[in-house]
């Protein structure tokens, strides 16, 4: 999507707004529907905060669905080319598309451990990390309680959403 000025975003129809921001939260365009109703926004940061707020204020079951909508890092969906355009670009930005066989194996083990312990994928804002810090963060967060991990994942989703919103706003 081409970045648009905030004045144009605030003037869009609800359908145009949803189409423009549908990919901000992974496979969850209903949040764009909700945020559309909160317009006008002063700037991109206020818009990004509205997306984060919509997630934080949602019911726990919906939050879990959103977390589970995220793909495993360097997982089967990435290898098969089945990621959203946003996730593909983000994972590539951290070098996750150029892993060695040993690194792929380690990601597979970390992803499996995450699913076994939390029944969730490991969610991290890869654009704010390096391949090394992503590995280290996964190992560290495996020590979290389920409640702490859900909170960490939601925080990371807010970081991801912020960057995606900033990509879609031109001013």
Structure tokens at 97: 């598309």
- 42 and 108 inside one domain: no
- 18 and 50 inside one domain: yes
- 117 and 151 inside one domain: yes
- 59 and 77 inside one domain: no
171 is a domain residue: no
- 16 and 37 inside one domain: yes
pLDDT of 77 above 50: no
pLDDT tens for 141-165 read 999 999 999 999 999 999 999 999 9
**Which residues are known to be catalytic?**
70
Q: What's the rounded Cα separation, in Å, for the pair 113 and 125? A: 19
How many domains is the chain partitioned into structurally? 2
- 22 and 77 inside one domain: no
The confidence score (pLDDT) of residue 147 equals 97
CATH number of domain containing 90: 1.10.3330.10
pLDDT tens for 97-118 read 777 889 888 988 999 999 999 9
For CA atoms 80, 135, 59, 17, the dihedral sign is: negative
Task: Return the SS3 of 123.
Answer: coil
Print the domain residue range for 92: 72-162
């Amino acid at each position: 999507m081409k970045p648009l000025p905030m004045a144009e975003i605030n003037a869009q129809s609800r359908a145009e707004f949803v189409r423009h921001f549908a990919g901000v939260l992974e496979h969850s365009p209903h949040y764009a529907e909700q945020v559309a109703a909160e317009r006008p926004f002063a700037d991109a940061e206020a818009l990004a905060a509205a997306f984060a707020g919509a997630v934080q204020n949602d019911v726990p079951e919906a939050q879990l669905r959103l977390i589970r909508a995220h793909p495993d890092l360097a997982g089967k969906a990435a290898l098969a080319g089945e990621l959203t355009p946003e996730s593909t670009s983000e994972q590539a930005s951290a070098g996750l598309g150029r892993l060695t066989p040993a690194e792929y194996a380690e990601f597979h083990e970390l992803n499996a451990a995450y699913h076994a312990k939390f029944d969730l994928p490991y969610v991290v804002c890869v654009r704010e990390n390096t391949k090394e810090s992503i590995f280290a963060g996964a190992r560290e967060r495996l020590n979290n309680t389920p409640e702490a991990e859900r909170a960490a994942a939601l925080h990371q989703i807010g970081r991801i959403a912020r960057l995606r919103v900033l990509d879609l706003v031109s001013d």
